[in-house]
Amino acid sequence: MHWIDPESLPETRGKVTRFLLNPHGDIDGFVLGARQIHVPPHLSKQIARHVAPGDALSVRGVKPRGADIVAAVSLTTKAGKTILDEGPHHAGEKHPKPHADRKPMEASGEVMLSLFGPKGELRGALLDDGTSLRMPPHAASALASYLSPGAHVHAWGHGVKNKHGRTIEVDEIAELIDADADAA
């Protein structure tokens, strides 16, 4: 059981615009309006079963300093279904982690949203085509200008795509320069 009482936490409401995936293909967040909501991946199956893009949700969670993200402790759907973070499965239970079939991928586009970890650390970006770019915090910190809204980038790495979205663990990233800007 989670040690935080969700009823004591601020509430954020909105409509789910898209899911965010971790490199294993699990849902580890979503975009609610224009804000990133982080959820632990052990809630992925429950979220996939009860939430879809376009659904109205109420989220109670913690907002870290310096990042526009909410680390969710509970979600409540419009139909009244509550999904509560009770923590990961206990050590004695058998729940093997499936290995996603990661393939070489690339993506390019405009950064719509910087992506953060649950403690507010920069971890990547969401592109305008819905692709999540992910990287370790130390790499993301060094490449912050590439991961800021409005930046145009091309990224290469290994990723996973499923019915909930697409994510790439970035090996290389480059800023795209608008050819029209060079001509001006």
Return the domain boundaries, the chain: 6-84, 103-183
Listed residue (22, 43, 32, 14) closest to 68, CA to CA? 32
Provide the 8-state DSSP code for 110.
E
Query: Can you tell me the distance from the alpha carbon of 83 to that of 63, in angstroms, rounded to the nearest whole number?
Result: 18
Residue ranges in 100-158 assigned as alpha helix (H):
137-142
What does each C-alpha distance from 63 to 9, 51, 66, 179 come to in angstroms? 10, 22, 9, 39
* Residue 105 scores a pLDDT above 50: yes
Q: What pLDDT shows up at residue 88?
A: 77
Higher pLDDT, 96 or 68: 68
Residue pair 151/111 in contact by the 8 Å Cβ criterion: yes
pLDDT single digits (tens) 42-85: 999 999 999 999 999 999 999 999 899 999 999 999 999 999 99
Rg (the chain; Cα; Å): 17
Distance (Å, rounded) from C-alpha 56 to C-alpha 66? Answer: 26
| pLDDT given for residue 93 in this prediction | 45
Whether pTM > 0.75 for this model: the answer is yes
Q: What is the CATH number of domain 6-84?
A: 2.40.50.140
103-183 topology per CATH: OB fold (Dihydrolipoamide Acetyltransferase, E2P) (2.40.50)
Res. 100 pLDDT band, cuts 50 70 90: low
Which pLDDT score, from 0 to 100, does residue 101 have? 80
Query: Once rounded to an integer, what is the mean pLDDT over residues 12-33?
Result: 95
Our CA angle for 166, 151, 146, nearest 5°, is: 80
